[in-house]
Amino acid sequence: PIESKLPRPDVLLSSWGLELRREVAAKGRGVFAASAAKGSHIKPGEAVLVSKPYVYCVSSTEAQSRCHHCLTAAADPASLSRCSKCKFCLYCSVDCQRNAWNMWHQQECAALQSVAPARPTETVLLMARLFWRRAKESVAKPRLDIGKQKVIESTYSDVEFLVSNRNKFKSEKVEQFGQMALLVARLVGPSSLPASASELVELFFKFSCNNYNISDAEFRPIGVGLYPTAALINHSCHPNCIALFRGTESVIRAIEPIEEGQEITTTYVEYTLPKRLRQAELLDNFFFNCDCIRCIDIREAVTDDLELVKNEELLKTLKSMHESAKTKAQVSIDDLERAAKSAESSLDILHSYTYYEIMMELQQRYIDSQRWEGASKSAVAVLRFLENVCQQLWPILGLQYFMVGKLYWFREQTDLAINSLNLAFQILS
């Protein structure tokens, strides 16, 4: 390998056969498959980019059942070792506890004790960890070599390279970040903070636009992390890659063939959302209107049919479902079953996002109550929707085949189970 004089992001990407273009129409900059290897392409399933987070933390909902360093779930949460000083962080092994101590917990532990019994939010803890990690970075610039593919480890300079969209945030969000900055300052102390308050708030803007939700193998959120190089990849509602996670490592993996010179894309929003909801979320959180092939295609596969619902009871059930995430009050299975029947009689259920929402909820409720026949029928209904709207190798489609296969197996429908599990394997492998 030879040392490069190129800007650091370019070198990091070039080691994976990628290139950063800085003038992409309507997007600013973007990551592309390098055009050096003529005739070559990236195959579905191949890792396009693997990187470690600059900072990360376990989600608050998983904080009592996962190691706070490697994010591994404990079979028995009681087996996790709690830090004897801060009484907050949990670890699955001595190695994880030692590595966390060396990374940032040495400073973090004292800070957590100073604010106990209060606990910082995920965003505040992430920001504090950023400054603790930055303080440990060597003054010497790391050597960057071209031509050696390896897991990318970021430095603070990679964080500085990210865009913040500062001028696009609403005033109330700016005020909220200012309040959070005060909490970070209390945790970290003045010696580790940026020279100005505006620089600290600027980092909150960057976090908001560039963080990744870390998920487990079944796409359940388990943490949040900042992956500066992966964050350079632009969005598409019909992406050619997907962000997966191997512990705390981010793996950008191809789900379609990618030709030389083609842009690398992932999705920033839930794939199954109808266009109206995707566009609203992208505009609210990332400040752009998407004009990808899926958004301009008049044959959008997901039907945004809420406005077509005329049944008052169905509308009431849908409203209760949407509010349950905040209120924690579950909609009854009877109400969900009546809503499903109403939807089946009035909506295009193979493409209806409304029907998909109902059946996803029913599937989980039947499973929780061990009503396997109902769970199986609901899971098949969800699968039919996903078959009609998802790309061929979309992992959630594979996971749903796996779910249907397991439920068939519980009901001793062996042939159907094996067929569904084989289809799951074809996608997930």
Mean pLDDT of the chain: 89
pLDDT tier for residue 140 given thresholds of 50, 70 and 90: very low
Please, how many CA atoms are within 13 Å of residue 200, restricted to the half-sphere of its CB? 27
Q: What is the pLDDT of residue 36?
A: 54
Mean pLDDT of all residues in 211-230: 95
At position 113, the amino acid (one-letter code) is Q
pLDDT tier for residue 328 given thresholds of 50, 70 and 90: low
Distance CA 382, CA 343 (A): 13
Q: What is the pLDDT of residue 312?
A: 78
Distance CA 172, CA 176 (A): 6
CA dihedral 15, 19, 20, 26 (to 10 degrees): -150
Q: Which residues contact 87 (CB under 8 A, 6 or more apart)?
A: 116
% of the chain surpassing 90 pLDDT: 70
By the 8 A CB rule, do 180 and 104 touch?
no
By the 8 A CB rule, do 214 and 227 touch?
no
Q: Sign (positive/negative) of CA torsion 276, 282, 287, 290? A: negative
Q: Which residues contact 186 (CB under 8 A, 6 or more apart)?
A: 114, 115
% of the chain surpassing 70 pLDDT: 91
Strands 234-235 and 265-266: parallel
The whole-angstrom distance between residue 400's C-alpha and the CA centroid of its chain comes to 18
Distance CA 268, CA 162 (A): 16
Q: Please, which residues bridge with residue 258 across strands?
A: 42
Q: Is the pLDDT of residue 314 over 90?
A: no
Q: Is the pLDDT of residue 202 over 80?
A: yes
CA proximity to 269, closest of 295, 306, 245: 295
169-180 residue pLDDT tens: 999 999 999 899
By the 8 A CB rule, do 90 and 64 touch?
yes
Q: Is the pLDDT of residue 146 over 60?
A: no
Give the least confident one: 74-88, 134-148, 159-173.
Answer: 134-148
Q: What is the pLDDT of residue 3?
A: 45
Q: What is the pLDDT of residue 317?
A: 80
414-429 residue pLDDT tens: 999 999 999 999 999 8
Q: Is the pLDDT of residue 122 over 90?
A: yes
Token pair recorded at residue 236: 């598409």
Mean pLDDT of all residues in 282-308: 84
The number of residues in the chain equals: 429
By the 8 A CB rule, do 113 and 88 touch?
no
Give the least confident one: 15-29, 53-67, 141-155, 215-229.
Answer: 141-155
Q: What is the pLDDT of residue 144?
A: 53
345-362 residue pLDDT tens: 888 888 999 899 999 999
Q: What is the pLDDT of residue 245?
A: 97
Distance CA 224, CA 50 (A): 16
The whole-angstrom distance between residue 266's C-alpha and the CA centroid of its chain comes to 10
Q: What is the pLDDT of residue 193?
A: 80
pTM of the prediction?
0.90
Q: Which residue has the tokens 């004009």?
A: 291
Mean pLDDT of all residues in 6-15: 83
Token pair recorded at residue 379: 């899971």
Mean pLDDT of all residues in 253-278: 94
By the 8 A CB rule, do 31 and 257 touch?
no
pLDDT tier for residue 136 given thresholds of 50, 70 and 90: confident
Q: What is the pLDDT of residue 7?
A: 74
Distance CA 255, CA 252 (A): 10
Give the least confident one: 161-165, 336-340, 343-347.
Answer: 343-347
Distance CA 108, CA 295 (A): 44
Q: Is the pLDDT of residue 333 over 70?
A: yes
Distance CA 377, CA 363 (A): 8
